[in-house]
Structure 1
Amino acid sequence: MNAIYSPFQLGRIQLQNRFVMAPMTRARANPDGTPGPLAAEYYGQRASVGLTVTEGTQPSDDGQGYPLTPGIYTNAHVAGWRVVNDGIHARGGHVFYQLMRAGRMSHPDNTPHHRQGVAPSAIAPGEQIYTLDGMKNIPVPRALTTDEVAATIKDYACSARRAIESGADGVEIHGVAYLVHQFLAKSSNQRTDRYGGSIENRARFAIEVAQAIVAEIGADRTGIRLSPGFTGFGLDVGPEGPDVFRYLVGELDKLGLAYIHIVHYGDEDILHDFRRIWHQAIILNRPARPRDEIGKDIASGLADLESYGAHILANPDFIDHVVANAPFNTADHSVYFGYQPKGPEAGYTDFPTLKAEQEGVPG
């Protein structure tokens, strides 16, 4: 397990260790998409990890899916995120923003313009989504025109530039569940243009998004998150699913991206395939990773970094808990999203550190 504590060169930055804070939607931004008043404290508390990947951050009004999620495309967003970045950097950490365009996982009540969601095809996911008025059925999205696909790709590139302007170290393309994944999946993509049909066509959107961002901010500042085993939200890539992801990863490898971030759901063979295909860093997230296997994937050479979500959410000093083999605080799902009745700190910045617990200081 010792290798996970060692520094690592990721693109143009050196990380202080190989722990990564996975992106986690918290829905605590201001209504205009600027980070909320406690965002800098929340991320700063957890900056002892080598790399922080922020919550999903929309690159445009059309990209928003859920209420109170942050954006990175206006001057106000840039100014708000700069404070967050300063807090992370002051503690020796580094930060990539996760660029998340929700696609069909959206509702007009949740977006600034209250327009219908857009997606590869006009196919609803058959799911409900949270709004400030409660759970509602997700309406059928509008299919993007070919010209609108090009404009959407440009939105990603522009938001990546704004991220760097705000002081971020890079961006991560969100390729799980949302728009990028919706182009990959046959169940959500029935297009007949150059973005639908064959494996190559369905992967084209993800590749062109990555190319556009690389052209804007550089490959060494660009990562992507993928999950070959994800089947939620009505997504089905089809029987050739593993081949889709092998092709996509091979094409992305040619761009020299800083990393791929894999959310793993059980197909060990494809992880080994990625290790052979991919020549840059691999971040591996196993959602149900046992505690005694922390660092195992790095030690085996299967991954270069490991990401953790709920454990870091509930344990701002996660690494201290791991080193001391101390019990973890438990993450309470009921306080994951949105501002809480008990106050803005509840379930966000009020988790006790190990030092505080040992000294008997209330959280």
Structure 2
Amino acid sequence: MLFSPFTFDAFQTKNRVVMAPMTRSRSTQPGDIPNLLMAEYYRQRASAGLIISEGVPVSAVGRGYSMTPGIYTAEQIAGWQQVTQAVHDAGGKIFAQLWHVGRRSHERIAGQAIVAPSAIKIPDQVYGPLPDGGFGMIETSPPKAMSTKEILATKNDFVQAAKNAIAAGFDGVEIHGAHGYLFDQFLRIASNQRTDEYGGSLENRMRLLVDTLAATVDAIGASKVAVRLSPMVTEGAASEDPEIVALTMALLQQLAPMRLAYVHFSENIGNYLPVTTDFRRQVRSVYPHPIMVAGKQTKQTAQALLQDGLVDLVAFGTPYVTNPDLVERMANEQPLAEFDSDARLSLYGGGAEGYTDYPRCSAKP
């Protein structure tokens, strides 16, 4: 099933292999503008059924890593047009992952005070400017609590970013609600200590994400909108959330009538709990529409999940760093190039080395 087409309403993929979003920090400076090197990187991987772009900040204050390409200026939109055209010319499909990191940033990256549901900081590091002028991992700044006006403005930033993505040629957008970033911060008790309509109850904590998704669907259409969640990952948080499973099920019930392109579960990274078959079945019972999973999957585990009917699409992250032709390699039983320490060192920043210079296998699909 991994190599078979998938269709749900107007959302279609040529196979069920997805390239997961991965921050690579190669945008042109100043301005965080996508460029031709990025276009080549994504073009090389266009045999995926779907490419999900690296996280794309929807505003300056939403940025959490240096040199990440935005989608809120005319120059950034024009830069992304080169990327999407390259992917489409190679027969691929690409969604933009829309991103606001919330408290997981530094004021030198955002250019202003960083924001979060509540003014709560925990030890955390992000990729940003070092005192010596270079770049590396730096401690995050203390955040300030968002006002209601700022929350509504952020929702509008996502809707406008979705419109910008369509103008840039993307086939759709995935809203990043995972990994301890802004929406995830609203969902979890430890990071959301608000007493207004955006805090407290399950309904209140998921309000911003539900409202943002609904507004984005209204703006560009449900088949072009998806969301990423990570209930079993506590990245960017100090502890597990005792209500996150219950909240996730309540959230999925709210999302089901929207008929999104897919819901994307990120798993098995950072601080995480293993995902059980019972959890997957519970998800299926409340959410009958397309489900994608990512996180240390292999061809074999992906096939098993598909055969069992627990998921519809499987995303691969680090294998796509060193294997631009991952689909062909898996389809032809070819070995995968290893993601090693050298590959890890080239993840953030730099040029073509460790980015677009990985060879393809010799076998033909």
| TM-score bracket, shorter-length normalisation | over 0.9
Which residue type is aligned with residue 356 of structure 2? T
Contact 1:120/1:189 (<8 A) preserved: yes
* Unmatched segments (≥5 aa) in structure 2: 131-135, 269-273
1:275 aligns with 2:274: no
1:294 aligns with 2:296: no
Contact 1:104/1:125 (<8 A) preserved: no
Q: Secondary structure at the match of 2:265?
A: strand
Structure 1 residue 8: Cα displacement: 1.2
Which residue type is aligned with residue 191 of structure 2? S
Partner of 2:67: 68
Taking structure 1 as the reference length, what is the TM-score of the superposition? 0.92
Aligned counterparts, 1:229-308, within 5 A? 229-234=232-237, 236=239, 238-265=241-268, 266-268=274-276, 269-285=278-294, 287-308=295-316
1:8 aligns with 2:6: yes
- Quote the Cα distance in structure 1 between the aligned partners of 2:258 and 2:327: 33
Aligned counterparts, 1:1-363, within 5 A? 3-31=1-29, 32-111=31-110, 114-133=111-130, 134-176=136-178, 177-234=180-237, 236=239, 238-265=241-268, 266-268=274-276, 269-285=278-294, 287-331=295-339, 332-339=343-350, 344-355=351-362
Contact 1:186/1:237 (<8 A) preserved: no
Q: Deviations over 1:209-237 (max 9, x none)?
A: 10111111111110000011011212546
Partner of 2:271: none
Which residue type is aligned with residue 353 of structure 2? A
Q: Secondary structure at the match of 1:14?
A: strand
Partner of 1:361: none
Contact 1:20/1:308 (<8 A) preserved: yes
Structure 1 residue 291: Cα displacement: 4.3
Q: Alpha carbon RMSD of aligned pairs, Å?
A: 1.5
Which residue type is aligned with residue 125 of structure 1? I
- Quote the Cα distance in structure 2 between the aligned partners of 1:17 and 1:49: 7
- Quote the Cα distance in structure 1 between the aligned partners of 2:70 and 2:225: 18
Contact 1:188/1:235 (<8 A) preserved: no
- Quote the Cα distance in structure 2 between the aligned partners of 1:42 and 1:246: 36
Q: Deviations over 1:90-134 (max 9, x none)?
A: 1211111000101000111112xx211101000112112221213
Q: Secondary structure at the match of 1:273?
A: helix
Which residue type is aligned with residue 271 of structure 1? R
- Quote the Cα distance in structure 2 between the aligned partners of 1:290 and 1:163: 30
Q: Deviations over 1:329-355 (max 9, x none)?
A: 12221111111xxxx111100001002
Contact 1:186/1:236 (<8 A) preserved: no
Structure 1 residue 262: Cα displacement: 0.8
Which residue type is aligned with residue 289 of structure 2? Q
Q: Deviations over 1:9-51 (max 9, x none)?
A: 2442431111100000001112212113301100000000110
* Unmatched segments (≥5 aa) in structure 1: 359-363
After TM superposition, where is structure 1 displaced by more than 3 Å over at least 4 residues in a row?
none
Q: Secondary structure at the match of 1:201?
A: helix
Contact 2:36/2:83 (<8 A) preserved: no
Q: Deviations over 1:67-102 (max 9, x none)?
A: 000111111111111111111111211111000101
User: How many residues are matched?
Assistant: 348
- Quote the Cα distance in structure 2 between the aligned partners of 1:273 and 1:34: 41
Taking structure 2 as the reference length, what is the TM-score of the superposition? 0.92
